[in-house]
Amino acid sequence: MGMARANEHQGRVAVVTGGSGAIGAAIAERLNKSGALVHVLDLQPSSLPGADFHRADVRNEPDVDRAFDAIGKSAGGIDYLVCCAGIFRRVPFLDLLLEDWQKTLEINLTGYFLCCRAALRFMRPQKFGRIVLFSSMLARTGGVNSGHYAASKGGILGLARSLAVESAAENIRVNTISPTITDTPMPRAVLSDEEIESRKTGIPLGRIGRVDDMAEACMFLLSDDSSYLLGQDLRVNGGSTLW
């Protein structure tokens, strides 16, 4: 610890789940440019040059364990874990099938559990680890047709705080980021341009989030600049929710 080194990320082994998605890819790219050894876990191949791609379904325990074992053993450890893998499909509550509920919980929450557990097996013995889990402002505010998603994202906050307490003494820091709506293909797939435009009116800073906002927040939480932060939720939301 101490003052951040000029390039503290150099040589760090980083795993980014959902690393082929917009936010995950931006973080993977930032880490790669900072000299980290980046491994992307996703179902969709990563187009990021210089990153190792591992096809894995985060719901699948053997898939996840196999991927992390391969990374940790070949790289000699795992230093950073960033979890972004998630799905969001709005469904009115009375139309929500058990299958929809379970799929959302399994990918968004159980997937984080499996990835954290697999990464901690390497972080704990080396007494170093930085974990950033992406939650959502919907964990706090809830949202129409979003009960399953909000539940999964709320679960992430509880998971992160518990892991933070459990791992703090081993120099492993766990924090979360709660974005508001961010300009990525995920919301654009379910919202019209007009709907996205109207969302800006509820955001005091007058715009929706950008992928770079989330990448900056993530780099801060991975770096020594946040050495006394653990179990915290960084709300990157333009002031849309002040708690």
Binding residues for other proteins, rule: CB under 8 A, are: 2-4, 161, 164-165, 168-169, 204-207, 209-210, 213, 216-217, 219-220, 224-232, 234-239, 242
- Taking CA 80 as the corner, what is the angle to CA 179 and CA 239, rounded to the nearest 5 degrees? 15
Smallest separation (angstroms) from other proteins to the CB of 58: 24
Buried b (16+ CB within 10 A) or exposed e, 159-190: bbbebbeebeeeebbbbbbbbbbbbbebbeee
> Which CB atom, from 60 or from 126, has the smaller least distance to other proteins?
126
Report how far residue 203's alpha carbon sits from residue 186's, in angstroms, rounded to the nearest whole number.
19
> Which CB atom, from 41 or from 236, has the smaller least distance to other proteins?
236
Smallest separation (angstroms) from other proteins to the CB of 107: 25
> Which CB atom, from 57 or from 213, has the smaller least distance to other proteins?
213
Smallest separation (angstroms) from other proteins to the CB of 222: 12
CA diameter of the chain: 53
Token output for 134: 């992406």
Q: Which residues pair with 93 in a beta bridge?
A: none
Smallest separation (angstroms) from other proteins to the CB of 237: 7
Measured CA to CA in angstroms, residue 171 lies from 17, 79, 164, 165 at distances of: 22, 11, 10, 11
3-state secondary structure of 76: coil
Token output for 37: 């050894």
Amino acid code (one letter) for 239? G
Residues that are catalytic: 149
> Which CB atom, from 2 or from 49, has the smaller least distance to other proteins?
2
